[in-house]
A and B are shown apart, each in its own frame.
Chain A
């Protein structure tokens, strides 16, 4: 079956621009997670959705970052006024319920020039 997919695979933008990153979880998975992985580091948690609601957004670095999951399936991570420090790979994961194994997507590599 289809795994977690993320689009685009690569995104290059200029400082100050707005970007949207999309995640399609595995069908039927109610839990969805966003992580950010900087070069040479492990992934860092950003936000976790259970259904349509954000159950934990404690990892969002500041108010330029926002994520939605309006129908409990696809999620979009939105970054306003991008900064060079936002450059990283953004990983999405999903799981059956909140405590199941997390399946990761291939990531979106964001480069802010």
Chain B
């Protein structure tokens, strides 16, 4: 089974509207972290937001918020008031610790290409 599933290959959103990018994950570990990265056409991965599995509050960073629903194993990214510069690929990723706190690798989904329309 895929560890990270992003079911929206592409999305088109009107400028200034809010957008939700979906992410579901699969893990049997109790300790894990969920990340969202933005990858513009330049190719560099830009960290946006992080949610730990034990965090009770949804993470927020400026216009970004993470809608964390642990029972559903979903970690959707919400971008409020979208801007033209938000057009990019967006990747959801997970780091699993389990009983091994030396496991630091990120597992990424296949991404969603977001296009903001003026």
Measured CB to CB, the residues of A under 8 A from B are 31, 33, 35, 40-45, 48, 55-56, 58-59, 89, 91, 93, 95, 98-99, 101-107, 109
Contacts and interface: CB of A to CB of B under 8 A. Distances in A.
Contacts of A103: 47
A41 B2 CA distance: 13
B105 A45 contact: yes
Closest 4 CB pairs of A and B: A42-B108, A104-B45, A45-B105, A98-B104
Contact of A33 (B4, B103, B104, B109): B104
A41 B45 CA distance: 13
Contacts of B109: 42
Nearest to B104: A98
Given A40-B110, A42-B93, A107 B105 contact: no
B104 A43 contact: no
B106 A43 contact: yes
B44 A107 contact: yes
A103 B110 CA distance: 19
A35 B35 CA distance: 16
Given A31-B104, A56-B102, A43 B47 contact: no
A89 B47 CA distance: 18
Contacts of A106: 42-44
A42 B105 CA distance: 13
B62 to A, nearest CB: 16
Contact of B50 (A33, A44, A101): A101
B111 A42 contact: yes
Contacts of A43: 45, 91, 106, 108
Interface in B62-102: 91, 93, 101-102
B44 A105 contact: yes
A59 B108 CA distance: 13
A102 B106 contact: yes
B104 A56 contact: yes
B20 interface: no
